[in-house]
Structure 1
Amino acid sequence: MYNEEDLENSRGEKLAVHTWKPRDDEGFYVFGHDHVGHGKSDGRRVYIENVDDYCDDVIQHCLLVKEKYPSLKLFIVGHSMGGMITVRSALMHKNFFHGMILNGPLIIPGPQVLGMDLRASPFRTFVSRAVLKFLSLFIPETPLGGPDLHMVTRDMEMHKILKKDELRWTGGCKVRLLLAFTDCLDENINQLSDVRTPFLIIHGSKDILCNPVGSDLLYRRSMCADKKFKVYEGSKHQLFFELPHVRNEAFQDVAEWIKERT
């Protein structure tokens, strides 16, 4: 059963909350919210100066649900930017989550981020940050680049659905938001060995937005004993929107991984 309501975060902004109570969805109680500045939530559109604000909202929401259902084990699911937020939240609040599922997480940007390959050298990354800092002083809300659904999924029917979604942002990543991402990614990657939360990573081999190398790096560096990394050959960025047989496999893998730990 689906329900939608509002939640006020610690900064006084309204978040649009979505809840799916158990019916036949593997018996899971599922909840989430639109990040501030996204979807139906308050805030300047796709603009933030510190990713930790996203993380604070996630933790606040989870704590409220835990008050209602204290015996439930808490699993967090994050895709792309949400994967970055998930990793950051797990690092900031160790032992808070029983497990996390990362779907094409943003750990190392792919070569199609603004047309720049940020893996090329530390110097190029430094230059990128310096440029972003400069630009953010004058044009913080200017979007750079733009979305290409062919990078997201091979499923053309899903393209049609996404194009009809009026809440989907289509203007590219804003300068200040990208700088906040860069700062968070640096902090995350320097702490990957501190990730202790059990995790499942699923990643498309043809993802050029969030590099699968980043997922592999997390898998190898994390000191967590309970971890799994699965690559879906030929798949692109959003496995949950991929071709039907791929997304069905991905959903099944996630459900089975969670059930084995509940």
Structure 2
Amino acid sequence: MQPPSPPPPPPFFWGETPEDEYYKSQNVTNSKSYFQTPNAKIFTQSWLPLNQPIKATVFMTHGYTNDTSWVFQKICISYAQWGYAVFAADLVGHGCSDGLPGYIGNMDEAAANSLSYFLSVRRSEQYKDLPAFLLGESMGGLVTLLMYLQSDPGTWTGLIFSAPLFVIPEAMVPSKLHLTLYGLLFGLADTWAVMPPPRMAPPTGGNGNRKLSLKAMNPKRYAGKPRVGTMREVARATEYVRKNFEKVKIPFFIGHGTADPMACQSGSEMLCEKAVTKAEDKELKLYEGMGHSLIAVEPDEASDRVLADMKAWIDHKVEKYGLECKDS
């Protein structure tokens, strides 16, 4: 006798409640659109606070295999509830944006695509005078730092990172032999999903499995093996940003779990050490025993602590920004 099939995933990560009704219950509004970049059409979303003034803008980038439409919304909605106008885009090869699922053949170009949308909002009449922050989670942290390095000085007020991928754990480092062999095929193998999947530790946290299962239900999530070009670009881009940490000059916040199996905390520590940002504007929070997905997978009490630290940091920076503007 066949075991019963698992129930179908809910239409939304929060359950069955219609979108408009759910967002209203969270005191935010949501909008969706597509943005044409020089290289691809990308899917974008915004979350704006209801019935309160907007303090600043925050531009968010999700991680590998993820997108903006599922559990990543948790962090987007939280910031909007705090009074921030939040904008996010699906990376190429992810979610509803153009591209082969799971494939990023040029990380710099992928960053430039999202940046072109973010800048169109950042420079708009409605938001041009507000403080503006870039936020990235996991591989999105890597893309976020690439966007910062591609931006003109003075564009951004600060950077926020959640478990940024700046140093790849040994178990996840792509095999140089594999990359070399596939490279000999003159790019024909670049899109092949043949790279060995990373050997990952189980998630931490007492209710981590429940939240991880919800994360895995994402209908747009890429679940195949890593593609050759994506892993090549991750390896190249992480090395590139590490060589350019000293170009970071603005305030930043980093949250990183000490039990993270997918992004080494040493990368976050290295950014704190090498960035020329003023010492008082660098904040690294190491969360003892927490894993990689600080908001979506860790127990609620743990993820709430991370969000509270993020809120305290950005609220302080926005208040300081306002005081500096009054004094100038």
Which residue is 2:250 aligned to? 197
- Name the structure 2 match of 1:122: none
Partner of 1:21: 48
Unaligned ranges ≥5, structure 2? 1-28, 51-79, 319-328
The structure with the larger Rg is 2
In angstroms, what is the RMSD of aligned CA positions?
A: 2.2
C-alpha contact (below 8 Å) 2:142/2:164 kept by paired residues: yes
Unaligned runs of 5+ residues in structure 1 are 117-125
Moved more, 148-157 or 84-93: 148-157
Alignment-derived partner of residue 77 in structure 1: 135
Match of 1:139 among 189, 195, 200: 189
Structure 2 matches for 1:179-194, cutoff 5 A? Answer: 179-194=232-247
Shift of 1:156: 1.3
CA contact under 8 A between 1:84 and 1:107: conserved in structure 2?
A: yes
State the Cα deviation string for residues 216-243 of structure 1 (Å, max 9, x = none): 1111111111111110000001101211
- Secondary structure in 1 matching 2:210: helix
Assess if the C-alpha contact under 8 Å between 1:201 and 1:215 holds in 2: yes
Equivalent residues in 2 for 1:159-238, closer than 5 Å: 159-225=212-278, 226-238=281-293
> In structure 2, how many angstroms separate the alpha carbons of the residues matched to 1:131 and 1:28?
47
Equivalent residue of 1:44, what SS? coil
Corresponding residue number in structure 2 for 1:119: none
Contact kept, 8 Å, 1:4 with 1:16, in 2: the verdict is yes
SS in structure 2 at match of 1:45: coil
1: distance between equivalents of 2:191 and 2:102? Answer: 9
* Pair 54,25 (structure 1): closer, same or farther in 2 beyond 3 Å: same
Decide whether the 8 Å contact of 2:196 with 2:226 is kept in 1: yes
* AA in 1 matched with 2:190: P
| CA displacement at 1:76 relative to structure 2 | 1.0
Kindly provide the CA deviation profile for residues 77-128 of structure 1, in whole angstroms up to 9, marking residues without a partner as x: 1011101111111122243211111111110001231587xxxxxxxxx667
> AA paired with 1:206?
A
Tell me if structure 2 keeps the 8 A contact 1:16–1:40: yes
Alignment of 1:1-262 (within 5 A): 1-11=29-39, 13-23=40-50, 25-66=81-122, 67=124, 68-93=126-151, 94-113=153-172, 130-131=180-181, 133-134=183-184, 137-143=187-193, 144-146=195-197, 151=202, 154=205, 155-225=208-278, 226-241=281-296, 242-262=298-318
Q: Is the 8 A contact 1:205 1:236 kept in 2?
A: yes
Give the direction of change, closer, same or farther, for the CA distance of 1:159–1:10 in structure 2 (3 Å limit): same
Deviation at 1:256, TM superposition (A): 1.3
Please say if residues 80 and 103 of structure 1, whose CA atoms lie closer than 8 Å, have aligned partners that are also in contact.
yes
Normalised TM-score (structure 2): 0.71
- Name the counterpart of 2:3: none
Determine the C-alpha separation between the residues in 1 that align with 2:42 and 2:33: 8
SS at match of 1:156: helix
Check whether the contact 2:200–2:261 (CA below 8 A) recurs between aligned residues: no
Shift of 1:14: 2.0
Query: What letter corresponds to residue 160 of structure 2 in structure 1?
Result: I
Percent identity among equivalent residues? Answer: 25
- Larger relative contact order (CA 8 Å, sep ≥ 6): 1
Which AA in structure 2 matches 1:4?
K
Aligned residue number for residue 64 of structure 2: none
**TM-superposition CA deviations, 1:124-159 (whole Å, max 9, x none):** xx6676456346734222222337886455411112
